[in-house]
Amino acid sequence: MRQSKLFTKTKKESPEGEVSKNAELLIRGGFVHKEMSGVYSYLPLGLRVIKKIENIIREEMNGVGGQEILMSAFQPKENWEKTGRWESMDDLYKVPDSSGKEVALGPTHEEIVVPILKNYISSYKDFPIAIYQIQNKFRMELRAKSGLLRGREFIMKDMYSFHTNKEDFENFYEKMKGVYKSIFKRIGIGHLTYMTFASGGTFSKYSHEFQTITPVGEDTIYVDEGSSVAVNKEVFNDEILDQLGLDKAKMVEHRAIEVGNIFDLKTKYSVPFDLSYTDEKGEKNTVLMGCYGIGLGRLMGTVVEVLSDDKGIIWPASIAPFSIHLLSLGEDEAVLKEADKVYDALIKNNVEVLFDDRSGFSAGEKFADSDLLGIPLRVVVSARSIKEGGIELKKRTEEKGKIVSLNELLSLLAPKS
Ligand code: ATP
Ligand code: MG
């Protein structure tokens, strides 16, 4: 894409009243637009990142047999009354219409997915089932000051699994631990993300949170660096450490943000909706459930928090909006012609490239924008690079670039077989 055609522009100044680094950099780069506290629109560059994150998650969910659906954001009040959450959930948006009826604006989807499933399944032969969606959630968050980390409207992947017995559930749950590790690794924050024991709520002993270490995180966790096991401060006591075989003296305290979590729901939502099946003996049993969440916007904000420097964002290649940022410097005819040639060759080779072809910008301005946008590779065509026999290639993470030929660049980018 030609940057001269991109309707968004970078901003030098921090947005007023924005205290979080992720929102500041994402707004300055034109990735997102802030509508109000905790509510952001995704612009072309930001949407490209979200789509990449989405596709990594989608691949991993499909890999464990997940079936993708898209559930409604408007949800019937009756369903929420059935589970008791119409009253008990503090952050639920209750939306009235002109007839005086109210609906819930979905903060999560147990109240929808369970009745959907009930409509279709009846026999043990139907199981196991895993259903997921990637969709916008709404929560009346009081502390929406952390940019994309805590939204009032935010994108979540929520998966729900359904099982006839504990063993089947446990197998699937174990598999999901591996899947989650793989997702965070692929997104480029695996080295900072710990599976963390947390309290499991009313029914199960523990849930597992995936916590990424960052000073702006809202949670405090204790990490055993040897085993990479972590425990949330909320459940951190001698009895629990004992159960998990952890040595308190070796645990290191960190601030962290929860990028995902997995839960054993047991029969918490299947009972109120009587979600059941008939077993081999013709007897009726209640379905067991698990749920598995990841916040996509929170993930994007977390990557910005943990992988940026004083000049801007540093996207991991797997979720970068483009693979290459091509810059033409100066208004010299030969430079413009050469840069066009490089752009065409990259497009022809299916390389995702953002081409800063804007005129009237100094080299310094283009470099600063490039650092802010954080595309992993920068390719510069200038009078100097042409004189030195090619184009200058530099990684976002490196100080100095090197001169390469177009063919060398293309072979560097070609998928390794
Ligand atoms: P938190 O403790 O941070 O409020 P939660 O326990 O309420 O999170 P879940 O309801 O389990 O979170 O949601 C699943 C995932 O959705 C979380 O792990 C997180 O990544 C993301 N998420 C939850 N709330 C928000 C929010 N307000 N803004 C952005 N992402 C969120
Ligand atoms: Mg919450």
Ligand 1 within 6 A of CB of 219: no
- Best substitution site from 132, 137, 194 to test ligand 1's pocket, by max atoms within 8 Å of Cβ? 137
**Ligand 1 pocket, residue 294 CB under 6 Å:** yes
**CATH code of residue 144:** 3.30.930.10
Instruction: Please name the residue that has the structure tokens 């929420």.
Output: 80
DSSP letter for 127, please. Answer: -
Read off the pTM: 0.97
Q: Residues 173, 269: one domain?
A: yes
pLDDT score of 200 more than 80: no
CB of 297 closer than 6 angstroms to any ligand 1 atom: yes
Going by pLDDT thresholds of 50, 70 and 90, the confidence category of residue 415 is confident
Considering the domain architecture, whether residues 358 and 406 belong to the same structural domain is answered as yes
Which pLDDT tens digit goes with each residue over 62-94? 999 999 999 999 999 999 999 999 999 999 999
Backbone φ/ψ region at 233: left (φ over 0), alpha (ψ -120 to 50), beta? alpha
CB 132 within 8 A of CB 183: no
pLDDT at 18: 87
Asked if residue 226 belongs to a domain, the reply is no
Residue 262 shares a structural domain with residue 355? no
Are 381 and 335 contained in the same domain?
yes
247-253: list long-range contacts, CB under 8 Å, 24+ apart. 250/224, 250/225, 250/226, 251/222, 251/223, 251/224, 252/222, 252/223, 252/225, 253/220, 253/221, 253/222
Examine the domain organization and report whether 212 and 332 are in the same domain. Answer: no
| Lowest mean pLDDT segment, chosen from 12-21, 316-325, 342-351, 359-368 | 12-21
Pocket test for ligand 1, best of 146, 156, 234 (most atoms within 8 A of CB): 156
Question: Is the minimum distance from the CB of 212 to ligand 1 under 6 angstroms?
Answer: no
Is 15 a residue whose pLDDT tops 90?
no
pLDDT, mean of residues 218-224: 97
Quote the ligand 2 centre to 185 CA distance (angstroms). Answer: 24
Q: Are residues 34 and 88 in the same domain?
A: yes
Span from the CA of 295 to the centroid of ligand 2 (angstroms): 11
Measured between alpha carbons, how far is 179 from 212 in angstroms, rounded to an integer? 16
Give residue 204's pLDDT band: very low, low, confident or very high (50, 70, 90).
Answer: low
The pLDDT tens digits of the residues spanning 117-154 come to 999 999 999 999 999 999 999 999 997 889 999 999 99
Q: Are 71 and 126 members of one domain?
A: yes
Last residue of a domain, one of 245, 278, 307: 307
The CA distances from residue 187 to 49, 193, 274, 389, in Å, are 10, 11, 38, 36
What average pLDDT score do residues 382-391 get? 94
**φ, ψ (nearest 5 deg) of residue 184:** -70, -30
On whether residue 248 sits in a domain, the answer given is: no
Query: pLDDT (tens digit, 9 = 90+) per residue, 33-64?
Result: 999 999 999 999 999 999 999 999 999 999 99
Closest CA to ligand 1's atom 3: 258
> Is 245 a domain residue?
no
Evaluate: CB of 257 within 6 angstroms of ligand 1. no
Can you read off the two tokens belonging to residue 14? 């921090």
Query: At residue 380, does pLDDT exceed 70?
Result: yes
Closest-lying ligand 1 atom to the alpha carbon of residue 139: 27
Establish if 227 belongs to a structural domain.
Answer: no
Which ligand has the nearest atom to the CA of 134? 1
Distances (CA, A) of 111 to 74, 78, 136, 296: 11, 9, 15, 22
Give the range of the structural domain holding residue 361, as residue numbers without chain letter.
324-413
Q: Is the pLDDT of residue 203 over 70?
A: no
Query: Quick one: average pLDDT of 240-265?
Result: 94
Q: What residues pair up with 136 in beta bridges, in sequence order? A: 155
Give the CATH number, domain containing residue 328: 3.40.50.800
Report if residue 214 sits inside a domain: yes
pLDDT of the residue at 199? 86
pLDDT tens by residue, 167-195: 999 999 999 999 999 999 999 999 999 99
**Residue 48 near residue 322, CB atoms below 8 Å:** yes
Cα separation, 15 vs 67, whole angstroms: 40
| Same-domain status, 189 and 114 | yes
Are 296 and 379 contained in the same domain?
A: no
Q: Are residues 164 and 114 in the same domain?
A: yes
User: For the chain, how many structural domains are there in total?
Assistant: 2
How high is the mean pLDDT of the chain? 96
- pLDDT at residue 202, rounded to an integer: 54
